[in-house]
Structure 1
Amino acid sequence: MYEAKFPEVDECVMVQVRSIAEMGAYVSLLEYDNIEGMILLSELSRRRIRSINKLIRVGKQEVCMVLRVDKEKGYIDLSKRRVSAEDITQCDERFTKAKAVHSIMRHLADQCAVEMIDLYPRIAWPLYKRFGHAFDAFKLSISDSKGVWSTPGIDVDEQTARLLADNILKRLTPQAVKIRADLEVTCFEYEGIEAIQRSLAKGALCSTADAPVRVRLVAPPLYVALTQAMEKDVGIAVLEKAIEAIGAEIRAAKGELVVKVKPRAISAQDEKLLNSLMETLERQNEEVGGDSDGEGEVTGMGNLKIDE
């Protein structure tokens, strides 16, 4: 993943454990073409080792510090016990970036029918030298392509440059995080349904340009509050504010709000399951022949219609 064939002494690297022996553990350095290294038994832990299998497992990825490098013989000695929590965080971040760059370069190599080893010197190495990491250069190229691709040493033809730009745009453009909270809203007073609708509308009005709020009916009295934002913390904060507004309004009408599940980021699979459930309930309602033509959704941008 990097121009240097071997890591430097005191550098922290990401490794994968291949086997465990009496002297220690044999590992592959994932960022350096899977060359072999060894974590010495004495460098596994600061504490007394009672069972090596409790400290390290075959197949697991670990962050290690480089102790010695013999470039002629290819020997690399590593330490796990000298790695700090800060080292782990920094190495994880660098490795994640390097994997993203590697993925883009591999896809580009396939598209251009060339070897990756031919593309790296023409694209990645110059970017690493100028920007510190090719990933940061790739991200910057989305908004400043001219500034990035004018880097000395870059050598790509027009077609390759276009394919590379397309790959970067597809893989590195930030995606909005989807946030969801599960609510139970009830009101058994005379204005019950109207009070629930009014309270949910209050929540939807907490929408912002960066995080629009929607409330969807699952099945009375269960609702889901949804939003999406570029930053997870922003989306969660907006949804929490919406829940407070819903609670204040429904309690004023002598109803009740119970937060079944607090706001959290959801995956594409979670969203798929929710949509599937909504479709199933909608079909069941049609079979029963309900008398409401609502959409079962509240937004901060339009009329309020809830199937109840």
Structure 2
Amino acid sequence: MATNTPNLECRMYEAKYPEVDMAVMIQVKNIADMGAYVSLLEYNNIEGMILFSELSRRRIRSVSSLIKVGRIEPVMVLRVDKEKGYIDLSKRRVSDEEIEACEERYNKSKLVHSIMRHVAETMQVDLEDLYIHVGWPLYRKYGHAFEAFKLIVADPDSVLNSFTREIKEVGPDGQEVTKVVPAMSEDVKVALLKNIRRRMTAQPLKIRADIEMKCFQFDGVLHIKEAMRKAEAAGNNDCPVKIKLVAPPLYVLTTQTLDKEQGISVLNNAIKACTEAIESEKGKLTVKEAPRAVSEREDKLLPENMPNPNEEVSGEEVSEEEDTGMGEIDLENTATGITE
């Protein structure tokens, strides 16, 4: 499969052209007198055209409001002339259901294509050859290569070992013979598995909630620490809960999970346990931000914006001398009955 100058351009699907009445993903390249010229992204950017009359069912007041250079969107295939390479497309005839299905298919195909192209580039193999012997057979057998890639993450051999290719060799007698070999070399297979696992393995979501917690009672710090322990105890092996002090009286609860709904539910239970614990000591808990999935950037945004933020510390590390929302009370003097 290796060549000195491997081809890295290839369509995503085995068919060279889309079928009539099929929704395809396009990118607008330029706007001419009669319509817009576009590239069909799933078919190696072959050219198609959308006439202005196919932009909208309504009267067109402004073409620029309906179509813009660079925009990516689904359209319907009206006509395909394979001999001349003409493809006529329509924006106004594609339904909402077809748009949704096209976007879902394209997003899966784009991920598959990205993995395939990266393997071809790093292993110096021809991308179309890789599609012919691996990618397109996976599409045929599993409906979409994306579905096959999901299976490969768990059990690669059962999916990939069934694919072979025929090569011709000259035998000892000088006669040409046909030999059946694996569809790809072991090196290419290892590279493909590595890329599939890296890109397809589900990543844990970070779920976060922001609360304010105060307790003005004697030994309020201890009551807050106990409430924090109750919150963390509400977690489980799949969704361990951590609660940290950001800056008095602000605390953050977090968990990581593959199941977003489960993570939100666990944090809600943690907040409930924390609330019950602190209110039993006449303290108060206010939810500032309900549990939600956050990115790493969002997770860091709050402490960065705090005026004089303290370093985050866990529930076991809050010192008893630290001001954690008990106002100006001097714990040491209060304990001995001394006031200023």
The verdict on a shared fold, with TM-score over 0.5 as the criterion, is yes
Q: How does 1:188-199 map to 2 (within 5 A)?
A: 188-199=216-227
Give the fraction of aligned pairs with identical amino acids, expressed as a percent.
53
Map of 2:314 onto structure 1: 297
Per-residue displacement from partner, 1:172-207 (whole Å, max 9, x unpaired)?
111111111121111222242222222222221111
Cα distance in structure 2, aligned partners of 1:254 and 1:25: 68
Counterpart residue identity of residue 66, structure 2: L
Counterpart residue identity of residue 124, structure 2: A
Contact 1:126 1:151 in 2 (8 A): no
Q: Choose from 286, 290, 297 the match for 1:269.
A: 297
Q: Choose from 10, 22, 28 the match for 1:17.
A: 28
Counterpart residue identity of residue 230, structure 2: K
Q: Give the C-alpha shift of residue 45 in structure 1.
A: 2.3
Per-residue displacement from partner, 1:224-247 (whole Å, max 9, x unpaired)?
111111122221221122222222
Partner SS for 2:203: coil
Counterpart residue identity of residue 16, structure 1: Q
1:62 aligns with 2:73: yes
* Structure showing greater Rg: 2
Q: How many residues align?
A: 291
Structure 1 unmatched ranges of 5 or more: 284-294, 299-303
Structure 2 unmatched ranges of 5 or more: 1-11, 166-182, 323-340
Q: Choose from 255, 263, 281 the match for 1:253.
A: 281
1:174 aligns with 2:198: no
TM-score scaled by length of structure 2:
0.79
Map of 2:318 onto structure 1: 306
Larger CA deviation: 35-44 vs 117-126: 35-44
Partner SS for 1:211: coil
Q: How does 1:93-172 map to 2 (within 5 A)?
A: 93-153=104-164, 155-172=183-200
Contact 2:246 2:310 in 1 (8 A): no
Contact 1:127 1:151 in 2 (8 A): no
Change (3 A) 1:116 1:274: farther
Q: How does 1:1-12 map to 2 (within 5 A)?
A: 1-12=12-23
Q: Give the C-alpha shift of residue 38 in structure 1.
A: 1.7
Contact 1:212 1:228 in 2 (8 A): yes
Per-residue displacement from partner, 1:14-71 (whole Å, max 9, x unpaired)?
1111122343322111111011112222222233322222222221111111111111
Counterpart residue identity of residue 252, structure 1: S
Q: Give the C-alpha shift of residue 281 in structure 1.
A: 4.9
Q: Choose from 86, 89, 95 the match for 2:97.
A: 86
Query: 4+ runs of 1 displaced by more than 4 Å?
Result: 271-278, 280-283
Change (3 A) 1:193 1:31: same
Cα distance in structure 1, aligned partners of 2:164 and 2:30: 40
Cα distance in structure 2, aligned partners of 1:116 and 1:32: 14
Q: Give the C-alpha shift of residue 268 in structure 1.
A: 2.8
Counterpart residue identity of residue 29, structure 1: L
Q: How does 1:159-238 map to 2 (within 5 A)?
A: 159-238=187-266
Cα distance in structure 2, aligned partners of 1:39 and 1:202: 62
Partner SS for 2:151: helix
Change (3 A) 1:85 1:185: farther
Per-residue displacement from partner, 1:131-167 (whole Å, max 9, x unpaired)?
1111111110121222201334461111211121111
Cα distance in structure 2, aligned partners of 1:181 and 1:102: 37
Which structure is higher in helix share?
Answer: 1
Q: Give the C-alpha shift of residue 127 in structure 1.
A: 0.6
Contact 2:205 2:257 in 1 (8 A): yes
1:49 aligns with 2:60: yes
Change (3 A) 1:162 1:215: same
Contact 2:246 2:303 in 1 (8 A): no
Cα distance in structure 2, aligned partners of 1:226 and 1:206: 12
